[in-house]
């Protein structure tokens, strides 16, 4: 699994959230408190919006805790909207192309989770990506495939509906192949203006996701990064969060229709899940 952080609000240096807190994202890359995998050492990435519509992007396959370039950038970049992500690969290569966040035009996306049995349905999942969008496919991860498939389905009009549609189609592909492992989805998406976050899983064990309202902004994170635990709100499962330029937080139900979802059953023997996914 991975750890992620998104910020929308008054411009601030990325280091204030990514590096300086006692349990910052960089600290979580070495010791995460609420992740299935304690160490997130398979890559790091940041995406931010400056004076252009398209985001800036830095991704590196080395661990965040040893990336001097990451620290230098976070101390210099000041932005009112940015993403940051540390990766623990679960089925695809630990390469720069597979590091989050992923970008296409003005859009940014990052994900914590997996498609169970992805290797068996990868070609079918990629077929959900429209030919117009497919040239943006640079890596091999399931996360990037979800992002581009959502962009293929009119994401700009209704992001939550687009991701719910894609997740429902993926669960259908799993069912057709007899895959019982879950789809797990905690993710953030933005078009450079509105920040969207999602928490859902086909087995009712969705990855952690938290919301913190600041005086001048909002943070979405996989886990709290400081000691002010009461200031962090757990995003309920099967919910989406949207935050616009006005700073208003809206929380709504999210996920595929029940008819589209087959329950993914854990393989209890040996304490592991049947089929590995691949963020």
Q: Which residues of the chain have pLDDT under 70?
A: 35-38, 41, 91-92, 154-156, 258-279
| Residue 186 near residue 110 (C-beta atoms within 8 A) | no
Q: Which two tokens stand for residue 198?
A: 């999602």
Query: SS3 for 202-268, per residue?
Result: CCCCCCCCEEEECCCEEEEECCCCCCCHHHEEECCCCEEEEECCCCCEEEEECCCCHHHCCCCCCCC
pTM for the whole structure: 0.90
- Burial degree of 216 (CB within 10 A; 0-12, 13-18, 19+): exposed
pLDDT at 41: 67
d(CA 114, CA 143): 7
Q: Which of 231, 212, 230 is nearest to 220 (CA)?
A: 212
pLDDT at 157: 75
pLDDT at 241: 98
pLDDT at 71: 95
**Going by C-beta distance under 8 Å and a sequence separation of 6 or more, which residues neighbour residue 75?**
13, 14, 15, 19
């Amino acid at each position: 699994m991975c750890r992620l952080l998104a910020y929308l609000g008054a411009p601030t240096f990325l280091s204030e959230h990514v590096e300086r807190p006692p349990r910052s994202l960089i600290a979580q890359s070495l010791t995460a408190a609420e992740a299935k995998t304690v160490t997130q050492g398979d890559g790091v990435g940041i995406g931010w919006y400056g004076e252009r519509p398209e985001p800036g992007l830095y991704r590196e396959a080395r661990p965040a805790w040893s990336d001097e370039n990451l620290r230098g950038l976070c101390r210099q970049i000041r932005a009112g909207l940015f993403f940051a992500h540390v990766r623990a690969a679960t089925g695809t290569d630990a390469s720069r192309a597979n590091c989050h966040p992923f970008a296409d035009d003005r859009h940014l996306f990052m994900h914590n989770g997996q498609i169970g049995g992805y290797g068996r349905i990868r070609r079918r999942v990629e077929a959900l990506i429209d030919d117009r969008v497919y040239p943006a496919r640079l890596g091999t991860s399931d996360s990037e495939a979800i992002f581009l498939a959502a962009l293929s389905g009119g994401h700009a009009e209704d992001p939550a509906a687009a991701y719910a549609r894609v997740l429902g189609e993926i669960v259908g592909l799993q069912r057709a192949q007899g895959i019982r492992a879950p789809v797990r989805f905690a993710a953030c998406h933005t078009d450079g203006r509105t920040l969207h976050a999602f928490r859902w899983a086909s087995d009712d064990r969705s990855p952690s996701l938290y919301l913190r309202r600041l005086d001048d902004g909002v943070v979405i994170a996989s886990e709290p990064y400081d000691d002010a635990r009461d200031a962090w709100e757990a995003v309920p499962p099967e919910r989406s969060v949207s935050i616009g330029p006005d700073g208003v937080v809206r929380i709504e139900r999210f996920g595929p229709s029940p008819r589209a979802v087959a329950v993914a059953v854990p393989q209890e023997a040996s304490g592991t899940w049947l089929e590995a996914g691949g963020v």
